[in-house]
Amino acid sequence: MTTVHGSTIDIPTQDGVADAYLTHPDDGVPHPAVLFYMDAFGLRPHLTKMADRVAAAGYTVLVPNVMYRHGRAPVVELPEFINPAERPEIFQNLRPAMQSLTPEAAMRDAGSYLAWLSASPLTTDGPVGTTGYCMGAGLALRTAGTYPDRVAAIAGFHGAYLASEAPDSPHLLADRITAEVYFGHADQDSAMPPEQIDRLEDALTAAGVVHRTEVYDGAHHGFTQADTAAYDAGAADRHWKALLDLLGRAL
């Protein structure tokens, strides 16, 4: 098993300083970069373990606290095991930070994250991959459409509202994407109903994007997150295979 080195770093952005988790193989050589977008609960031990697993497969992985404008991670206090049904105040406390992260601000930040990765001696010169979870899946999709010359692979899992009827819905960037795309949806996810899954699929197909979308039967929103009540071990294993296969092909 590849040993990895993880650390907390600060990344200057146009709007301030984002704290982030950086992890990479502990071998002293550069590796392809992966921009890893958090779910709403944000940077915490489980998410850094996930990033370490990607790094162990041979990548330099950056996990920014995308809600840094509201404080360093954790932005709100989190229990070791997150069950929103029992702790509804967690989402209530997170909602202002989530709602204030406009697409424009998020993509300004993405430019800073990509520039940092490009300048780092820990990364190779080629394009990056990006993966995202829950709200992060939308950020990954926007990043691939906003910086198509920088992103060669994008994965998103249990993404929320990726193809809504909003005028700034992420799927409307499909015609700008040059990356290979994979989405793993949960069929028990009210934040990504069948009509949005179909709309996203149709947009990617019409744009000629190389892509694959799959619906994980029986899975709920958040199925990859082992420290939450939504975790589904089988679906999470399936996600790992899909993600690492995509990164291996594209990067």
Catalytic residues: 134, 189, 221
For tokens 């970069």, the residue is: 33
Q: Report the SS3 class of residue 151.
A: strand
Pairing assessment for the beta strands 16-25 and 4-13 based on DSSP bridges? antiparallel
Asked whether the beta carbons of 154 and 179 are under 8 A apart, the reply is yes
Stretch (H or E) spanning 146: helix 135-146
CA atoms of 144 and 210, how far apart (whole Å) = 13
Adjacency order of strands within the sheet including 211-220 = 4-13, 16-25, 60-64, 33-37, 128-133, 151-157, 180-188, 211-220
Question: Is the preceding omega at residue 74 within 30 degrees of 0, hence cis?
Answer: yes
For tokens 């907390």, the residue is: 8
Asked whether the beta carbons of 156 and 200 are under 8 A apart, the reply is no
CA atoms of 199 and 215, how far apart (whole Å) = 14
For tokens 């197909």, the residue is: 205
Encoding tokens for residue 101?
Answer: 């992260």
